Structure 1
Amino acid sequence: MKVTACQVATVVVLAMMLTARGQEAKPEAPPEAPGAHGGNLEEGMAELDNFLSGFFGLLAGLGGVEPGRPGADDDLGGVEPGGPGADASLGGVEPGGPGADIRLVNGSSSSEGRVEVYHDGQWGTVCDDDFDINDAHMICRLMGYATGIQTRTSAAFGEGSGPIWLDNLDCEGSETNIDQCSHKGWGKHNCGHGEDAGVVCLDDAGLEGVEPGGPGADANLGGVEQGGPGADIRLVGGSLSNKGRVEVYHDGQWGTVCDDGFNMKDANVICRQLGYGRAVDALSQAAFGEGSGPIWLGELDCEGSETHIEQCFHNGWGKHYCRHNEDAGVVCTDGIRLAGGSLSSEGRVEVYHDGQWGTVCNDDFDMNDANVICRLIGYPSATEVRNQAAFGAGSGPIWLDNLACEGSETNIEQCSHKEWGIHDCYHGEDAGVVCSEGILRLVGGTLSSEGRVEVYHDGQWGTVCDDGFNMNDANVVCRQLGYASAVEARPEAAFGLGSGPIWLDSLDCEGSETNIEQCSHNGWGKHNCEHGEDAGVVCSDDQH
């Protein structure tokens, strides 16, 4: 509360009167003993001190809390949570900023930790039952971050204490307050603190503490200040944080991206912007559910080398001919990346664990391990193992040592290794790999330059249907495989029936493309064909 000028003047006048009183001489009185006059002054000053203490105590009482008294929280300007006069709608904490009734505890940085909420005068935790990335998005935004990038369950940031306030939290992701989310009710749960939920939020130094849409935000970047990957983009509706419907933040709102022209190049840019190595799949037709609100981007057209979706061509914000049943989605590589290479298909192996990227020691690291890693990030296989920090020494933790994969694993955690973070290595022993970029092969021919066309997608080899397949398509296939051109396009399983998925149908190349993924087609796995229609080519023997 503010002290008025009148109150200050009253205190000063009273102080002067009491001081003068203490100094008054009384001529009719007999001479005083030495020190008697000093005693009058001391009594006067004592009265002044008592008055001032009472006066300021009265003022503080009117404010509800004494500023700066022991136990006051410096983060709240010396005001204890839950003090008299505090705003109950903020969980007993005086108004003061986003996330005032929610906090993250025990993380390695302020952007991650166990989720705790303030209710009924106490901090308590959130149970991880049904806790998902939508809940994390909402919590991170309340804390002032752009979005959530990971959910952590099973008390990943340590067990809390006190009440478990929320269970079965169910947010859509667009809420502005945790009370707008569905839950069992405050304090109603069937959990123990071993199930405390945690989150990792997008912490971008370029945001400099500015909330999306806040003052100083750059409208060209959707209301988020320029400076960091992933600041204005998120994935929603997936079962894991590395996949979902693509949503971008612009003009104070999250909105979707139309799937018109959406392909792997666009998906790779999005995944890299979110901190993943690359995309595994580009999905269309609201594969992760229909979004709501604006459709911000249509005809997104990335070359694939961009670091930010803003660098890609598009129709303009909000300009499209789409509905939400055409919302685009992506699947990104989960928790593994290659760093330090000259190509995206090579580099130092880094894995994401416990909120940090770290390296893999090259002790016992071999081609089986490399093959698993390459497949996990979207390549068909590995061509080389590189040890002794061939792609430069990493930093941070060395997460894995004595990695021993059999080669068929679908997740690095299925491979044998020492416990996370247990090793006898240094960063001069960081492991690296070179992955095969060959997502295309010819099978069943008598020569290596001919055969059934097969493409690698989503972890599997599959065929191409011969509907519309012609010499333009064949030329692109042959050039991608290193031949000068095609001699012949062969339909109707001329090189035998394939097996597995039929990945592409109605392939339509102009003939100048350098990669089959640049050609138009129906979409991965969308066809009306059988393997009796598998396409084949005969390429010229001249290599280029």
Structure 2
Amino acid sequence: MTLTLMLVFFHLQAAEVRLVDGKGRCSGRVEIYHSGQWGTVCDDDWDMNDAAVVCGQLGCGSAVGAPLGAHFGQGSEPTWLDNVNCSGSESYLSECSHRSFGVEDCNHGEDAGVFCLSAGEEIRLVNGSDLCSGRLEVYQTGYWRTVCNDVWDLNDAPVVCRQLGCGRADIAPERTYFGQGSGPIWQDDVGCSGSVCSITQCPHTGGGTHDCNHSNDAGVICSDNLDPFFLKLSIRLVNGKDRCSGRVEIYYSGQWGTVCDDSWDIKDAEVVCRQLDCGVTNQVRSSGQYGPGSGTIWLDDVACTGSERHLTECPHRGFGIHNCHHSEDAVLCSEQDRT
């Protein structure tokens, strides 16, 4: 194969991809560039393997959702790909099996979407009411590190909100609004322009240099709520007889973890059921009913009023703060489980 043909082949395999109309560049309707124009991807056969390839190609971390049915709104002509069938190991979406560019039997009510989650690999918000508010922490060289709030303002906070897929920034609170962190401090004098893609790209003191302590930890409150589809993905029930019964687990900081049953009651269960579109519940079963979980215990002393939209809005001790073990993992019983 000549060098020219090799370059053409590579170009075809590496067709550019973007995500449109989501919250941030790592969620949205999938569009692919071909023959000089952007077009959509049909959701026939669309699944998490396909979404994983898109997230990897965009440098957006891991895939956590592959919504169907134009979840992010309908695109416009053309529809470039149909019946995409990735193994999940491909580097580019156009490397995956499909019907050939432009060969499809779809309409834009079938446009495929993707949710990626990169926050657990680089940044997170801790001790807030949900995944879109809290003390800012940056993961670097094996440690979660706080950020000093010297010159921290609403130019910096929007970068964090976009990076987490949380929309616009509402407030950039200072001085341990979300409590003091521990361990190393990442940087001082962070000064973003608001247009960069990652907080680590913003100008800062460099080299971990700072003159701060944890009474200066910076925080962020993003104004947009998480997408309802993502909220359903951020909680699950495990080891039950269906998706609406089982041990409660939530997704935070890049991993699934359990909820301790201290103070767990019917009001907490009501929030979980509503978040998962599982109707109502009138029972909360005892610990161990669905077996112990593993890994991190994310929440303890959850105290919902029953009116919250999702479980992480309820009062709790703070993510990862608990005095439990996995024999105390919270469980609930949905209406499908009633006897």
- Is the pair's TM-score, using the shorter chain for normalization, greater than 0.5? no
Smaller-chain TM-score bracket: 0.3 to 0.5
- Larger RCO, structure (CA 8 Å, separation 6 or more): 2
TM-score with structure 2 length normalisation? 0.42
TM-score with structure 1 length normalisation? 0.28
